[in-house]
Chains A and B, each alone.
Chain A
Amino acid sequence: MHAPLSVVLFTVLSGAGYGLTVLFLLADRLALGGPVGGGERLAAGLTAVALITVGLLFSTGHLARPRRAWRSLFRVRTSWLSREAALALLFYPVAGGFVAAYGLSGWAYTPLVTALAVLTGLLAAATLIATGMIYACVQAVREWHQGLTPVNYLVIGLALGAGVLTLIRAAAGADPAPAAALGAGLLLTAAVTKAAWYAWNAVPGGAGATTATGLSAGPVRLLDSGESAASFLAHEFLHPLAGDRRRGRYYRGLVLLGGFLLPAAGLAVVAWSGSLPWAAAALALAFAGALVERWLLFAEARHAVRLYYGAAERL
């Protein structure tokens, strides 16, 4: 499928922001790697809000009529896209309430502050899962329609957040080891769940040209698509990479190795040495890996429409 840049950037950036929110709250509450200072709190808070907000602004770039985006807040009963939008919007007042209560209590965790922190973290995680469910519920795309899809969105978002937190802690001179260790663990988890996701996609199966056309008396071959030039459908659903499993393997390896395992090793070094440059390098690599992973999620996706264009005998 066509990979919209706006959606790729949105899911990676906002995902990292929500992940950072969850992990920062954890680190702050449990004082992982020593108590968190005021400057660090400000840096983490601003970074998280900036990542989330910039990502959300990117997401509107995918809409042909962005000024109607407000309408997407009300179909939460059926649509995961609507749920994601509503959760993302709800996040702001709740997170704001947490910060206000936290500040008013003199930066101490009173029961109210703790409750708001938990709610903020849950909302962030729920938004990540809702983003994943947008894809997982689409049965027409075999790759997306599996339980691991939202898991990957959650784990990768959290891993990127841990990477950002490591950088902030290291830059502030605090001990980045716990955050780095968490990040390394999350990246390894992402490598495992994403590898399983890829493995499931390699299993033959799914719909075929026979059921797509109902012509069962022999192999079905497209003679004429009836189009004078590439239509919306061809542009949207016929990405060349979708049929090219071998070229896809190269990018899948790149994601698993360069996007997850190498930065995990980098964060392991940080956990051991506390080095700031290593933290920055690992984070940059993890972000680049996530961007490729998100692009590949579209480019490799085999939508059922391909069957009608003779692009495949089977999905």
Chain B
Amino acid sequence: MRLGLVIDLDTCVGCHACAVACKQWNTSGTLGPLSDYEPYGAAPSGVWVNRVRSYEQGQYPHSKTVNLPLSCMHCDRPPCVDVCPTGASYKREADGVVLVDDAKCMGCNYCAWACPYGARELDTASGTMKKCTLCIDRIYDTRLPEAERQPACVLACPANARHFGDLDDPDSEVSRLVRERRGYPLLPEMGCEPVNHYLPPRPAAASRPPAAAPAEAGGQGRAAAVQEWANRIVRR
């Protein structure tokens, strides 16, 4: 089993709901506090193990905004685990989830250097490394209804852009999505073999509604009048 996420860059609206849900769940979960520094100060900062960044692709007017959520990829060949001198970082045999044992980590930062994705952050309050756990304390919790045994970020996403499942199983929803939408891993040249995959944005033309036929004067009666009236109001 290789559990992981498949993230749809076509539908992600960049609302940061996944990041907030992640922070909320994990700061009170087994991962322990995700500390904040100066939360009410002039420069609030803190540990987040899922971050969303927004990019513009192409040149205006042929450009597109793409929001890229990024958390641990639960790599098949995780350099972070190899370099860890204490054995605090490990990859689970059974489901491939990469975790940090908070009781063993000595906060040397080496794994954060080794991860090309910036998926690990040192919590200077606890002195230990924090990273995505794939909500290990949710996904196996049989007290939760089955539909909720998913990472908090997946449940929170209002655009349904995040999918969780077993990427080893060719019949799983996530594998099917990767196959049909040509999902890809980030930075494949680093050789980490990430489990998480991203679904590319569809071409700009495909995600726009078909251009409306020019409306004839008074053509569609009341509906057209309302539409034209609305257009006039929202004109920039």
Contacts and interface: CB of A to CB of B under 8 A. Distances in A.
A71 to B, nearest CB: 4
Interface stretch (B82-90, B153-161, B168-176): B82-90
Interface stretch (B121-129, B134-142, B220-228): B121-129
B97 interface: no
A80 B65 contact: no
Interface residue tally of chain A, by bracket?
A: 35 or more
A64 interface: yes
B113 A138 contact: yes
Interface in B158-213: 184, 186-191, 198, 200-201, 203
B56 A220 contact: yes
Contact of A78 (B70, B82, B190): B82
B1 interface: no
Given A68-B104, A81-B85, A207-B189, A233 B55 contact: no
Contacts of B30: none
Given A140-B115, A230-B45, A85 B85 contact: yes
B22 interface: no
Which residue, B110, B113, B117, has most C-beta atoms of chain A within 10 A?
B113
A111 interface: no
Contacts of A230: 43, 45
Given A140-B79, A231-B48, A232-B47, A64 B84 contact: no
Interface in A226-268: 226-233, 236-237
Given A218-B57, A222-B55, A227 B117 contact: no
Contacts of A217: 57-58, 64, 203
Contact of B79 (A138, A218, A225): A138
Contacts of A1: 113
A72 B85 contact: yes
A212 B192 CA distance: 13
Most chain-A CB neighbours within 10 Å: which of B52, B124, B189?
B189
A305 B117 contact: yes
Contacts of B19: 226
B107 interface: yes
A140 B189 contact: no
Interface residues of B, number: 66
A304 B112 CA distance: 11
A223 B55 contact: yes
Nearest to B203: A217
A236 B55 contact: no
B186 A218 contact: no
A82 interface: yes
A280 B203 CA distance: 67
A219 interface: yes
B46 to A, nearest CB: 8
Contacts of A81: 83, 85, 108, 110
Given A69-B106, A308-B70, A219 B83 contact: no
A248 to B, nearest CB: 20
B94 to A, nearest CB: 20
B52 A226 contact: yes
29 contacts: A63-B106, A64-B124, A64-B127, A68-B106, A71-B104, A72-B85, A75-B87, A78-B83, A79-B82, A79-B83, A81-B110, A82-B85, A138-B114, A139-B190, A207-B116, A211-B186, A213-B55, A214-B9, A214-B200, A225-B51, A225-B53, A228-B43, A228-B45, A229-B45, A232-B112, A232-B124, A236-B109, A307-B187, A308-B68
Interface of B: 9, 14, 16, 19, 38, 43-48, 51-59, 62-66, 68, 70, 79, 81-88, 104-110, 112-118, 121-122, 124, 127-128, 184, 186-191, 198, 200-201, 203
Interface of A: 1, 62-66, 68-69, 71-72, 74-75, 78-82, 85, 134, 137-141, 207, 211-215, 217-233, 236-237, 303-305, 307-310
